[in-house]
Amino acid sequence: MSQYIFDNQTNFYKGKVRDVYSIGNDILVMVASNRISAFDVILPAPIPFKGQVLNQIAAYMLNATKDICPNWLVSSPAPNVSIGKRCEPFKIEMVVRGNLTGHAWRTYSTGKRILCGVTMPDGLKENDYFPTPIITPSTKASEGHDEDISKEEIIAQGLASAEDWKILEKYALQLFERGKAIAAEQGLILVDTKYEFGKIGNDIYLMDEIHTPDSSRYFYADGFEERQASGERQKQLSKEFVREWLIENNFMGKEGQKVPYMSDEWIATISSRYIELYEKVIGKKFIPEVWNDEEIYNGVLKALSTL
C-alpha cells in the first residue's frame, strides 16, 4: 500500500497495523492495513481483507455506542479508511475483562491474585466470569511492549487526573456492557477488550477501533457453560489463535526468537477467521472490496473536501 500525500498534511505515522495521516491540526485519516501484529511484532505476511474487516467493524461499533460517549469518527470513505477528529490521547489503554482469560489467566495461573492493582478472587478456573468486569489498564507504548499499570500509578504519574479517570472508568464499563449486549444478540460473549480515549479541549472522546478481533476476544455462547463444566477449551473468535500458534512455534516476541514461517494456507486461514468474526459480530455477510491506491486516495480527497 502506498504512502499518500494530502493537501494540508501535517504529519504521517506508520503504526504496527495502521497508517495515520494528520490533516491540519484537527483531522486524522486512518488507513487500516492488512498487516498483522502479535506480541508487539509485525508478522511478515499481510492478511487479505483484514484492514476492511477491522475498519468496518469499528465503524459499526462506534456508531452503535455514540450515545454513551462522543467518539472520533466522522466518515469512512473507503473500505479500509476512516476519517475523524484528532484527539490528544491518554497514554493508556483501558482493558476491560469479563472473563479470566489470556494475560489475566496467565497471571492468575502463576498464583498471583493482583493484576494492575485489581484483586482477582480465588477459586476461578480459566475462562470463568469475574463477579463483575474489571479494568486492567496498560501503558500505550510508542515502541516495544505495553506495560501493566494500576489506576493509582496512572494518577500518580499524571497520565490521567483523578477526575478524568472517573469518566474513563465509567465510559469503559458502559461501552463493555453495550458490546456484550451486541455480542449476545449474535450468540457471542464479549470476553475482554481495550478502549483508547483522548481529549478535545476538556471533553473526553473514544478513539481508535472498538470491539474488533484485534482489540477484543469473543467466545461462542452456545455450549459455553458445558465446556466450562467439562474443562474443554472454549471456542473463540479473536486474534488469540494467532498468538497461540506463535507460542506453539516458540515465538513470544522475545529477543533472539524468530517469527515462524507463515504458509499460504495459514494466511488464508487467518483471513477466513477474521471474516468469520465480522459476519458473527455484525450479523451480515462480508462483502470483500478491493480498491486500488488511486481509488482509496480519491475517496479520501472527496471526503476531506466536505469537511
User: What residues have CB less than 8 Å from 202, skipping those under 6 apart?
Assistant: none
- Determine how many CB atoms are found less than 10 A away from the CB of residue 236: 19
Instruction: With a cut of 60, say whether residue 144 has pLDDT above it.
Output: no
Q: Which structural domains are found in the chain, ordered by start?
A: 9-88+266-305 (3.30.200.20), 89-238 (3.30.470.20)
CB 192 within 8 A of CB 98: yes
What are the cell numbers at 63?
456508531
pLDDT of residue 141: 66
C-alpha cell of 116? Answer: 494492575
Distances (CA, A) of 57 to 11, 209, 246: 26, 8, 25
- Average pLDDT (174-203) is 97
* pLDDT on residue 40: 84
Q: pLDDT grade, residue 143 (50/70/90)?
A: low
Residue 238 has pLDDT above 90, yes or no: no
pLDDT at site 257? 93
Say how many CA atoms lie within 13 Å of 70 toward its Cβ. Answer: 14
**pLDDT over 60 at 164, yes or no:** yes
Q: Are 85 and 72 in contact (CB under 8 A)?
A: yes
Q: Above 60 in pLDDT, residue 1?
A: no
Across the range 78-93, mean pLDDT stands at: 97
More confident residue, 212 or 99: 99
Copy the grid coordinates of residue 175: 461501552
Which 3 state secondary structure label does DSSP give 275? helix
Q: Binning pLDDT at 50, 70 and 90, where does residue 198 land?
A: very high
Instruction: Inform me whether the pLDDT recorded for 152 exceeds 80.
Output: yes
Which amino acid is it at 140?
A: K
> Taking Cα atoms as reference points, which of 129, 216, 213, 219 lies closest to residue 172?
216
CB 137 within 8 A of CB 97: no
Question: How confident is the model over 24-36, as a mean pLDDT?
Answer: 95
pLDDT level of residue 24 (50, 70, 90 thresholds): very high
- Band of pLDDT at residue 8, cut at 50, 70 and 90: very high
Alpha-carbon distance values, 6 to 73, 303, 304 (Å): 19, 12, 9
As a whole number, mean pLDDT of residues 147-151 equals 96
| Mean pLDDT computed over 91-107 | 97
Of 150, 183, 181, 151, the C-alpha closest to 167 is 151
Instruction: Note the pLDDT tens digit of each residue in 271-306.
Output: 998 998 899 999 999 999 999 999 999 999 999 999
DSSP single-letter state for residue 9: E
Sign of torsion over alpha carbons 205, 170, 186, 266: positive
Check residues 240 and 37 and name the one with the higher pLDDT. Answer: 37
Q: Are 193 and 217 in contact (CB under 8 A)?
A: yes
Q: For the whole prediction, is pTM greater than 0.85?
A: yes
Q: Give the model's pLDDT for residue 140.
A: 80
**Cα gap 63→177, rounded to integer Å:** 15
